[in-house]
């Protein structure tokens, strides 16, 4: 059994598992690097949002309205979208819920969270998603935090993790290596790098640093799909 993971740029991933399609943190139409992706052809049963910043929610409304996808995010974000006519399932860090594609646990992130108009967008989070095919962690935007050690102790063994590595707004790659240790996961997929000048990275330097610690970091091309 395997899941499909497609990279849509920045922190956005499309995941196919158990016949359902999840889209996490869609930021496509305003991402110059993702200009070849047709927003209106993206399928989704669920859209997950880690926090309220524009570079994570920009296309959530369009995708939800195009597809009828249900939103999964923190309470404040789900209520904000409810006013736009989008149905969602509200969560908050520490909570689990069993959906028809598997279990979602919202976990801590250290990061701010506001809507594009500056209003409060609840607490930033990450997600651990587990079902009979896979278990993985999506960090969202976060600093390295000791709380990541709890993921290894409270969730099934991770098959892979999607970690932010671009520095400045989130942890950089050196901290992401420690994060990989904390979550006990050797297969890391990179996100939140290169989209803006402040988060440009040297991929080879990152690859070498992970390799030196016995870990694998994967840089997916935008639109690339992997089976994991």
- Nearest residue (CB) to Ni ion, 53 versus 105: 53
- Residue where the block lists tokens 């904000």: 80
Q: Which residues pair with 188 in a beta bridge?
A: 161, 217
Contacts (CB under 5 A) with Ni ion, residues 29-68: 53
Q: Quick check: helix, strand or coil at residue 128?
A: strand
Q: Backbone phi, then psi, for 26, in 5-degree steps?
A: -70, 120
Nearer to Mn ion, 113 or 155 (CB): 113
The binder of 105, among Ni ion, Mn ion, none, by C-beta within 5 to 8 A per type, is none
- Residues touching Mn ion, count (CB under 5 A): 3
Rounded Cα–Cα distance for residues 185 and 49 (Å): 23
Restricted to residues 27-86, the positions that interact with Mn ion (CB under 5 A) are 53, 55
Bridge-based pairing state of the strands 70-74 and 46-48? parallel
Taking the complex as a whole, how short is the minimal distance between the CB of residue 30 and Mn ion, in angstroms?
12
**Listed residue (198, 218, 207) closest to 55, CA to CA:** 198
- With respect to Ni ion, which residue has the nearer C-beta, 3 or 148? 148
Site for Mn ion contains 141 (CB under 5 A): yes
109 or 188: CB nearest Mn ion? 109
First and final CA of the chain: distance in angstroms? 9
Least distance to Mn ion from the beta carbon of 204, Å?
Answer: 24
Footprint of Ni ion (CB under 5 A): 53, 141
């Amino acid at each position: 059994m395997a899941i499909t993971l497609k990279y849509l740029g920045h922190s956005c991933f499309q995941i196919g598992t158990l016949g359902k399609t999840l889209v996490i943190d869609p930021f496509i139409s305003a991402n110059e690097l993702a200009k070849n992706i047709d927003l209106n052809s993206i399928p989704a049963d669920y859209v997950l949002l880690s926090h309220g910043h524009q570079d994570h929610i920009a296309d959530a409304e369009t995708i939800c309205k195009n597809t009828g996808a249900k939103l999964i995010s923190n309470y404040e974000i789900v209520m904000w979208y409810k006013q736009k006519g989008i149905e969602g399932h509200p969560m908050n860090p520490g909570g689990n819920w069993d959906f028809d594609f598997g279990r979602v646990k919202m976990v801590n992130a250290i990061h701010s969270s506001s809507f594009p108009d500056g209003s409060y967008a609840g607490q930033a989070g990450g997600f651990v998603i587990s079902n009979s095919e896979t278990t993985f962690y999506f960090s969202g935007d976060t600093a390295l935090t000791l709380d990541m050690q709890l993921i290894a102790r409270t969730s099934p063994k991770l098959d892979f993790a999607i970690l932010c590595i671009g520095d400045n707004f989130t942890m950089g790659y050196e901290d992401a290596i420690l994060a990989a240790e904390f979550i006990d996961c050797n297969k890391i997929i990179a996100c939140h790098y290169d989209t803006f000048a402040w988060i440009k990275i040297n991929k080879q330097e990152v690859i070498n640093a992970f390799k030196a610690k016995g870990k694998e970091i994967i840089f997916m091309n935008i639109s690339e799909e992997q089976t994991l």
